[in-house]
Structure 1
């Protein structure tokens, strides 16, 4: 064989690597396909593990608690503090919106009332008849899809805590297995771990706190000004507040217009002022204090993550969706660090100055 032919020949090592990667990808796809119903449980277990990680190490290594005792205590605490409030909102929506036909009848009347009032006052046709039908159909389809993905929540929670127990019991072993299994440089493994910790804390703690905070403040206004179905509006406002830019306004603006259209002009205007000032201020305070402190997530990541997460996991996707989108973009950055030909030096999170440089380097993706 000529030397030129040898240079163009694919290395046997590369062929073996491609063959092995193909087998790994096929097996991973088979596992994920057949265990797809447990993916929310795994994501939930990882989320709670990250949130409770330092407390678990504190109890086991400093307080010398038995692993099973610290695991059970933290699982119970996470159930009361994190899971039950989220489950309350989900269960409230499922209970209120469970009768799909009755819900859609009320929603159609609600939309028609707002449209007719705006058209009569401004002569502006906000939605044509065709677009109104599309809006009604989209609302019915999307709400049914979201609810259908939520009915197995008990199974997901039980599976999640089953997985979580073994993660809590031997946390050092669990983390060593993950670190050793990752085919990446140690600096990139550290970067993924640190960035994912911040993302999970922001989504698992920051977003629910902002949502419940805005929902409670809005509920006070709904009760004061006599808005219809105040409890249902509280749950809808809490969920809508997770959407950047527009947020809770998706709920309270139509409600204010509906109340004015019904002849409740004073309460409708009062509720509008209350929501714009008080609810809006609550949103700004929570987002620019709590969320900024935890992690500054790009609004587009949240928007697309919520859409994807709702389609995949139902209401639980409100938390998991943005995490998956941010993680995907983070892996792209890791790929660049691993295989780029530029002379960018590796960054260590333990070095303060280099850590700041690392944060600046990945600002665009999270």
Structure 2
């Protein structure tokens, strides 16, 4: 009789627990849906907070600065260090693309020359008139979108700094709220927060540095081989270098083809070889040194994470796309640690999780070896 009452109590508790979870998830999804426009701003504020957290706490707790003064100084520093270079990069693009008609005329001439050159050399109409018209139409729509999104970008940046200010003024309270809200063990909460911190730093600092390094290397090539509008190409190559798989090649390969089609065969071929070798080398060196040092991120994580993140979050997806993939893999392992009956659960790195290394058999083998080696 007592067992039945106990089972009924457990059943009622589980029902209440499930009902509460459904209510929480529903409210969370409702808030996320209504505040979706602020998600990029929130992600941007979190990124800047993580990057500047150490310095903010130092000014408040070690130097005894007033929190609002520390917050304003940190925000000003991030504007100077992070936002201004991005502003000048975008300003260069807008200045070059501002005269839309002249730009489209040059772009159409650019495509026509590449098309004529390929057709004369290989006798195959790779770029048919229909495909060529589609490319021109897409390019026109893209240039219009870039120009029209300027106001939206300013709004996102303003919202980002509005949220960042309140995070920086009371950093300990902000972190305590997030920690207490997480329905996990404290050790696993700390594990997730440390993982997110490393991933944010690796992506927010590492990816732009790698892209800027490739852009500088390509700029040297553009200057050496006499490419047109070198500063515009530098800006485009830097931005394109953040795109997974293709990267800056979507800029310098067409430029090299254009130079060859113009009759500058040797400089065009030289630019193509230079960029494929030097820019590719810079990419590999920086990725396997800087990014490896900041956080050991699996290449598949980066590729699929950026593709996923760009679709979900826009530009901030470059940072939070890979984080989303990594945290998902980490949560699967934490679920085993929180609710599995296994005594030993290994929280693996991205490399191990994606490769399937952290398995129960590995744990059992390690336990067996340790038992065997005991005196």
Hey, what's the Cα distance between the residues in 2 that align with 1:334 and 1:68?
Answer: 37
So what's the TM-score if we normalise by structure 1?
A: 0.83
Aligned-residue RMSD, C-alpha: 3.2
Alignment correspondent of 1:294: 294
Alignment correspondent of 1:352: none
Structure 2 counterpart SS, 1:151: helix
CA contact (8 A) 2:206 2:291 kept: yes
Hey, what's the Cα distance between the residues in 1 that align with 2:351 and 2:267?
Answer: 48
Hey, what's the Cα distance between the residues in 2 that align with 1:302 and 1:358?
Answer: 14
Alignment correspondent of 1:75: 75
Consecutive unaligned residues of structure 2, counting only runs of 5 or more, are 357-375
CA contact (8 A) 2:297 2:351 kept: no
Hey, what's the Cα distance between the residues in 2 that align with 1:136 and 1:344?
Answer: 58
So what's the TM-score if we normalise by structure 2?
A: 0.82
CA contact (8 A) 1:244 1:299 kept: no
Alignment correspondent of 1:265: 265
Alignment correspondent of 2:35: 35
Hey, what's the Cα distance between the residues in 1 that align with 2:113 and 2:42?
Answer: 44
Structure 1 counterpart SS, 2:151: coil
| Structure of larger gyration radius | 2
1:104 shift after superposition: 4.9
Alignment correspondent of 1:53: 53
Return structure 1 stretches of 4+ with deviation > 6 angstroms. 6-10
Deviations for 1:326-358, whole angstroms, at most 9, x for unmatched residues? Answer: 4444434433433334332476xxxxxxxxx66
Point out the more displaced range, 268-277 or 205-214: 268-277
CA contact (8 A) 1:225 1:271 kept: yes
Point out the more displaced range, 159-168 or 90-99: 90-99
1:260 shift after superposition: 0.5
Deviations for 1:275-327, whole angstroms, at most 9, x for unmatched residues? Answer: 23332232222212111111233333333443444444544443343334444
1:226 shift after superposition: 2.3
CA contact (8 A) 1:52 1:74 kept: yes
Hey, what's the Cα distance between the residues in 2 that align with 1:358 and 1:285?
Answer: 22
Q: Per the alignment, do residues 325 and 315 of structure 1 end up closer, same or farther by CA in structure 2, a change over 3 Å counting?
A: same
CA contact (8 A) 1:150 1:314 kept: no
Hey, what's the Cα distance between the residues in 2 that align with 1:223 and 1:285?
Answer: 23
Alignment correspondent of 1:209: 209
Q: How many residue pairs get matched?
A: 354
Alignment correspondent of 2:365: none
- 1:154 counterpart = 2:193: no
1:33 shift after superposition: 1.9
Consecutive unaligned residues of structure 1, counting only runs of 5 or more, are 348-356
Alignment correspondent of 1:166: 166
Alignment correspondent of 2:179: 179
CA contact (8 A) 2:218 2:275 kept: yes
Hey, what's the Cα distance between the residues in 2 that align with 1:359 and 1:264?
Answer: 46
Alignment correspondent of 2:242: 242
